[in-house]
Amino acid sequence: MLLTPFLLYKYLDRISQIKTSFKKTSGSEEEAPLKKRVAYRVDVFFSVYPYAKLLALLFATILLIGFGGLALYAVSDGSLSEALWLSWTFVADSGNHADRVGVGPRIVSVLISSGGMLVFAMMLGLVSDAISEKVDSLRKGKSEVIEMNHILILGWSDKLGSLLKQLSIANKSLGGGVVVVLAERDKEEMEMDIAKLEFNFMGTSVICRSGSPLILADLKKVSVSKARAIIVLAADENADQSDARALRVVLSLAGVKEGLRGHVVVEMSDLDNEPLVKLVGGELIETVVAHDVIGRLMIQCALQPGLAQIWEDILGFENAEFYIKRWPELDGKCFQDVLISFPEAVPCGVKVAAMGGKIMINPDDDYVLKEGDEVLVIAEDDDTYAPGPLPEVDRSFLPNVVNPPKYPEKILFCGWRRDIDDMINVLEAFLAPGSELWMFNEVPEKKREEKLIDGGLDLSGLTNIKLVHKEGNAVIRRHLENLPLETFDSILILADESVEDSIVHSDSRSLATLLLIRDIQSKRLPCKEAKINPTRHIGFSHSSWIREMQQASDKSIIISEILDSRTRNLVSVSRISDYVLSNELVSMALAMVAEDKQINRVLEELFAEEGNEMCIRPAEYYLYDQEELCFYDIMVRGQQRQEIVIGYRLVSSERAVINPSNKMDTRKWSLDDVFVVICHGE
C-alpha cells in the first residue's frame, strides 16, 4: 500500500499508452507524455496559486496518513478508523512508536515515521520561507501605506533633503505630519540617506517605499488617492528626459481609478515643456519650472545685490511666508486701510472672488474688498495674525527723490546654462541701451549661436545689449586673465550645463572660479584705487548692503549659483560673493506650493519678466536722514510710490527683517538703511 503512489507515478506513461491503444487515433499530432503533462500542471499550480506549497504539503500529509492507515489495517487486527488514527500519530510524532509488536507493524511504523519526518521538515521549510519573505517584504518596503492627508513625494533627487526640512517646519505647528517617499531605490538606502541629514523632523514621520511612480500598483501602495499633495521631483538627468519622465508620471496619476484628493506639484526643468504637462494634468497640476526661475533670480540678484537672502527668508517656512485667508470684517474697506490693519502681518494683495479667484498683487489703494475676497499677507504662520484697529500714522509727503536714470552696464556670464537664452531676454528688458553681455564658456561660438537661436532668441532683435563671445575654461587662471575682469559691473558664475548632474563637481568649479576672479581683480584694481563713484547707483546713496557685495574691487558684483547648501557655508564665511542657493530655493518653492497651491500664482508673477517683483530700495526714497518714524509710516509712504514695503535692513545688522513685529515702534532711520518692497516692474 505504501509503495502504491510511487508505482503509479513510475508507470504513469504506461497507463496512458494502454488507454490510447483502445481508441482509434486519426492523424493528429503526438501528445506529450502524461508524466510531463502532470509535471507541467504541477509547475503551473505552484506558479499561479500563492498557497500552492501549503496545499501540496496538506495533500502529501493526507496521502501519507491514508496509505499508512491502510497499510497498518492490513498488518494489524484493529479497525480501519483505529489504523488511520494510529497512522496520524506516527506522522505527527515521528520516531516515538518503537513498541509495536510484530515485524509487519514495525516496518510500516518505520516507513510512516520516515514520511512524517519528511513532512515535518517540509513544514519547517515553508514556515521559515514565509517568515523570511515577510521580513524581506517589510525591509524592501513592499507593504502598503495606510495613511490619509499625507504628502507624497515621487522620485529622488538632491533637493529631497531640503524639501523634507521645509515640510517638517511647515507641519511643526500641527504637531507633525506624514511624508511618504516613493522612489526606484532600495528602501534601506533611502532611509540611510535621510538619516544622514541629521535634521530634527519635529514630529513629522518620513516613510520610504521602493517602487516606480509609473506603475499604478506602486502608486496604490502609497495611498496616492488619499494624499493631500503630491510632489513630482525632477530627475537628475538631461532636462528633456527629466520632463518626459515627469509627463509619464502625470499620465500615471491621471490613470488612478479612485481619483486624486490633493493637487500635484511637478518640478519641471525646461519652461518649453510646461504647457504639455499642464495639458495632460488639467487643473490639479501646479508646475514649478526650477531652472528658469533660478536663472531669472540670478539676473535680479545681479541688478539688486542681496535679493537672494530676501527670497531665502520668504520662501522658507522658518521665517515669514505667504498666506491667503478670508477676513469678513474687512469687507467694504479700501486696500490702503487694509494695508495697515494687521499688526503681525504685511498685506501684499487680494484674491478677488469676482474674478474667479485671481490674485492681484499690490492692487490700487482705492480697491474696496468685497464679499468673498481674501487677503494675501506675509506672516510668521497662518494662526499668528489677525486684523486689528487702524493705527494713527503719519501721512506726510515723500522726499522729492526721483528714480535715477539707467546707465549702460557690462555683465559677464561664466558658464553655460540651457536657459541662457531666456536670461538674455530678461537682461534685454532690464538693461539700458549700450549695455554689453560677455559670455565666457567652453562652447564654441558658432555652436552657441545655434543653441541660442534654437532656444527662441532673436539675435538681430537685441537692441539694448551687445553680445561678446569669449571661449575658455573658467577654472584656468590664464583663460580668466584674458578678460577685463576689473571692468564688469556684474559677474554671474553659472552652474555649467556640462557638470550640473554632479552638485559637488559643479560647486567646486563655481568656488574655484569665484576665488580666481576675486584674486585677479584685487591685483589689477586695489580697493584704494576703486573709490570712484560707481556708474550703476548714481542718483542715491551707496548703501552698506551693496558695498558688502563689492568687496574686492568695490565695483563688480559677483553672483555664484550654488547647488549644495554645504557650499553656502564656505561662500558666506569668506564674504567674497553673493550667492543663489538654487536647489534649496527650489525645494522651498515646492514645499510652499504643496502646502497651498494658490501661492504658485504669487511666485509666478514675482519671478516673471513683467508685473510685480521684489526690489531693494534705498532709504532716501521714503525718509530723511535721522528721521524718526514707525514702520507703519514707511508703509504709508511706500503706498504713495505704489509700492508695498515688507521689510528693511539696518546698516548695523547682517540680515533683513521681513514683516517686523513692532510696527508702531518709532526709530531713527539712516540713509544707509535699505527697504524691501514689492512694486511694479520698471
Task: Report the DSSP beta bridge partners of residue 557.
Answer: 490
Q: Is the pLDDT of residue 42 over 80?
A: no
The answer to whether the beta carbons of residues 658 and 646 sit under 8 Å apart is yes
DSSP 403: P
Average pLDDT over residues 425-453: 89
Beta-strand relationship, 612-618 and 674-680:
antiparallel
Kindly report, residue by residue over 279-293, the tens digit of the pLDDT: 888 888 999 887 777
Span between the terminal Cα atoms of the chain, in Å = 101
Kindly report, residue by residue over 560-606, the tens digit of the pLDDT: 888 776 676 666 655 555 677 777 888 888 999 999 999 999 988 88
Kindly report, residue by residue over 383-395, the tens digit of the pLDDT: 889 999 888 887 7
- Predicted TM-score (pTM) of the model is 0.75
Kindly report, residue by residue over 355-385, the tens digit of the pLDDT: 888 999 999 989 999 999 999 999 988 888 9
Q: 224 falls in which pLDDT band (50, 70, 90)?
A: very high
Q: Is the pLDDT of residue 36 over 70?
A: yes
- C-alpha span between 158 and 162 (Å, rounded): 8
Q: Which residue has the higher pLDDT, 682 or 335?
A: 335
Angle, helices 445-454/420-430, rounded to nearest 10 degrees: 80
DSSP 473: -
- C-alpha span between 173 and 177 (Å, rounded): 10
Q: Is the pLDDT of residue 226 over 70?
A: yes
**Environment class of residue 484 by beta-carbon count within 10 Å: exposed (0-12), middle (13-18) or buried (19+)?**
exposed
Please give the mean pLDDT across all residues of the chain: 82
Q: Which residue has the higher pLDDT, 309 or 539?
A: 309
Q: Which residue has the higher pLDDT, 603 or 106?
A: 603
Give the cell for residue 578: 553673493
Give the cell for residue 373: 475676497
Q: Which residue has the higher pLDDT, 104 or 218?
A: 218
- C-alpha span between 438 and 415 (Å, rounded): 11
**Environment class of residue 30 by beta-carbon count within 10 Å: exposed (0-12), middle (13-18) or buried (19+)?**
exposed
